[in-house]
Amino acid sequence: MHLVTTQYLPAKRLLFCSDLHLDWRPTEQFLATLQPHDYDLLLIAGDIGLGKDVHEKLAEILAGIGKPIVSVLGNHDFYGSSFEKVNERMLKRFPLGNGWMIRLDGSQVLQLSSSAALIGVDGWGDGIAGYGLSSSAVMQDWIDIRELRKARREEKLFAYLRHLGCRSAQQLESALTLTLKNFEQVLVLTHVPPFPEACLFAADHDRDNLLPFYCNTALGHLLRQAADHHPCQQITVLCGHTHHSAGCDIVPNLRVLVAAAEYGHPQPSRLLKI
């Protein structure tokens, strides 16, 4: 179990987005799409920029909106770098518990109201769903992220992907347990959908071939168990990664919402009211 801290961050209107890919368009274009919306808190489910500048892109958004941001990172946020280096830059730019830009890493519970709380973790496709080890898909992650490139070269790629998925579930477990004891509504922000049912793709894509890298089954297992053990609490998972909008109920008290996204057109996906 991991140490968990609780922070009060009152918010009733949450603007949710993912997969902004601000290496394709300037941050100002995204900021312009936020202006018509009335919201208290911006939620970003990852894929904001690239490894070299994701921390600066987040700083630009924060300066542009003057409202709190809660974010996790996605696979593209490590491109051209490594998990270690990007995490170091993020922590240096946004120290834990300091300021209005909060990167969720499984150790925080953000209390939004007397009945609702927000938790989250980056997450990763763990190589299990769909065709699993038999998938013939090749992901850019394995070339552009140092640790994955090394694991592939050493023929340990799928073991490392499974490690990343399991680690994300372990990181979130304590915060999830705490929130379900104290709040009626739990929001979970993560990059990768935790259930195959929430993963939609273009019609010309082989879904089962892609699923191993677009679904975090380890996190899904944790969430499903939690929902079954707490039938009176509502868990809502907010994620991205596939770029295709989706909403599905895994069980009556466990819902997954996936943000739509399009390269070159960063914009909010939906407004959530607490």
Instruction: Give which of 93, 107, 102, 110 is closest to 68, Cα–Cα.
Output: 102
Across the range 257-269, mean pLDDT stands at 97
CATH code at 5-273:
3.60.21.10
Lookup result for tokens 């191993």: 212
Residue 233 reports pLDDT greater than 60: yes
Average pLDDT, the chain: 96
Residue 2 reports pLDDT greater than 90: no
pLDDT at 1: 57
Share of the chain above pLDDT 90, in %: 94
Share of the chain above pLDDT 70, in %: 98
Each residue's pLDDT tens digit, 113-163: 999 999 999 999 999 999 999 999 999 999 999 999 999 999 999 999 999
Each residue's pLDDT tens digit, 47-101: 999 999 999 999 999 999 999 999 999 999 999 999 999 999 999 999 876 689 9
Enter the tokens of residue 165: 């998925």
Instruction: Give which of 125, 130, 235, 123 is closest to 169, Cα–Cα.
Output: 123
How many Å from the N-terminal Cα to the C-terminal Cα in the chain? 29
Task: Assign 244 to helix, strand or coil.
Answer: coil
Across the range 6-32, mean pLDDT stands at 97
Across the range 30-47, mean pLDDT stands at 98
Task: Determine phi and psi for 249, rounding to 5 degrees.
Answer: -100, 115
42-46, 88-92, 101-105, 200-204: least confident range: 200-204
